[in-house]
Amino acid sequence: MLHALIMAGGGGTRFWPRSRKARPKQFLALTGERTLLQATYERIEVQVPPERAWVVTSAAHQAVAGKQLPSLPANQIIGEPCGRDTAPCIGLGAALIARRDPEAVMLVLPSDHVIEPAQEFRRIAHAAALLADEHPHALITFGIVPTWPSEGYGYIRRGTELPSRQGIAVHRVAQFREKPKKEVAVEYLASGDYYWNAGIFVGRAAAFLDQLHQHEPEMFAGLQRIADTWGTPRQHAVLNDIFPTLHKISIDFAVLEKAPEVLVLRAPYKWDDVGSWLALERLHPQDAAGNTVLADHAGVETANCVVVGDQGKLIATVGVSNLVIVQDGDCILIAERSKESDVKKIVELLGKRGLEKHL
């Protein structure tokens, strides 16, 4: 049976001030009425009913995740005592799911991407699940056809082509490549042989565990000990004891780059990782002056701004352009659009000044 493991552990400062420690990006409704986490699960709900859906998040966000996905059983919303990157996260999910169903296929999903239309996502998920049944040792990734030479994403080079499934192209993975420099990214794009790594992984839970057993035996042993006490009174004590000791490493490094059979499916959907406030320009329409407005806004001679604010608060602008303006509760951010990634410096500054209440 198909299970889903939704990774909702991200922290991140790029959406400050709307995203605070208490509410990272995946828990925000940046693109519509539903939060990114809710949209992630709704997209696959018809294929994965709640009894087979799992969320891994930080212990601090277990409550908000449960509130946003009330249909999920409480013991399937797992709170990591600390972040150890994606290998321990996915490994723990795999261990718990395999105990429930040794034949389970697992769909591992980031919780903070925008994917449309949902039916195209379900088509590729279905194709991946079929492949995982046919190739019991395979690990499967999704590849996004790149539209510009991004330096911010990992790339996947396609190898041998396999027969397509559900009209979706299937290749063996020839190579994973880390975030490249600009000129390298330009070459990748020109070659036509590369996808962006969408951060989605599919395979039998047992296949993930086999690879961890082989390449990260200590992590595997630790995960088994946690899984063995799951559902017992010792569950929390053992999780808190062992999880922080696990090797902090990504699933890509730990397993994907070493596994003998890794496949990639060409994603048929539109994808956006909502990397920063400027992503809202791709996800919402602009007014005649190029402004993207998600706020009560009164503008005079205002152009190419992104304006986000709470309902009932008025943001007025006069003679400005190329600004990102975000009002949230007791904080306001005003950033030049090309400097928007420096929002993290504000977060650092607030930490240094002891103004954690705003974080």
Rounded to a whole number of angstroms, the minimum distance from the CB of residue 282 to its own copies is 21
User: Do the beta carbons of residue 169 and residue 195 sit within 8 Å?
Assistant: no
Minimum distance between the CB of residue 326 and its own copies, rounded to whole angstroms?
A: 9
Helix or strand holding residue 80 (H, E): strand 77-80
Enumerate residues 6+ apart whose C-beta is below 8 A from 250.
85, 86, 87
Letters for 265-304 (x = contact with its own copies by CB under 8 A, - = none) are -------------------------------x-x-xx---
135 counts as binding its own copies under rule CB under 8 A: no
Pick between residue 67 and residue 345 the one whose CB is nearest to its own copies: 345
Query: For tokens 């769909």, what's the residue?
Result: 107
- Under the criterion CB under 8 A, does residue 355 sit at the interface with its own copies? yes
Residue 102 preceded by cis peptide, ω within 30: no
Contacts of residue 265, Cβ cutoff 8 Å, sequence gap at least 6: 124, 127, 128, 131, 140, 141, 142, 143, 165, 168, 169, 170
Query: Tokens 């009330």, residue?
Result: 70
DSSP-assigned beta bridge partners for residue 325: 307, 334
Residue 145 DSSP label: P
Q: Tokens in use for 233? A: 């009174």
* Cβ at position 143, least distance to its own copies in Å: 34
Measured from the CB atom, is 167 or 312 closer to its own copies?
312
Does residue 252 touch its own copies according to CB under 8 A?
Answer: no
User: Is residue 334 involved in binding its own copies (CB under 8 A)?
Assistant: yes
- Nearest approach, Cβ of 179 to its own copies (angstroms)? 23
Using the minimum distance from each CB to its own copies, give the nearer residue, 86 or 317. 317
Nearer to its own copies, 285 or 357 (CB): 357
Asked if 189 is part of the footprint of its own copies (rule: CB under 8 A), the reply reads no
Contact residues for its own copies, defined by CB under 8 A: 16-17, 296, 298, 300-301, 309, 312-320, 323, 325, 327, 330-336, 338-340, 342-343, 345-346, 349-350, 353, 355, 358
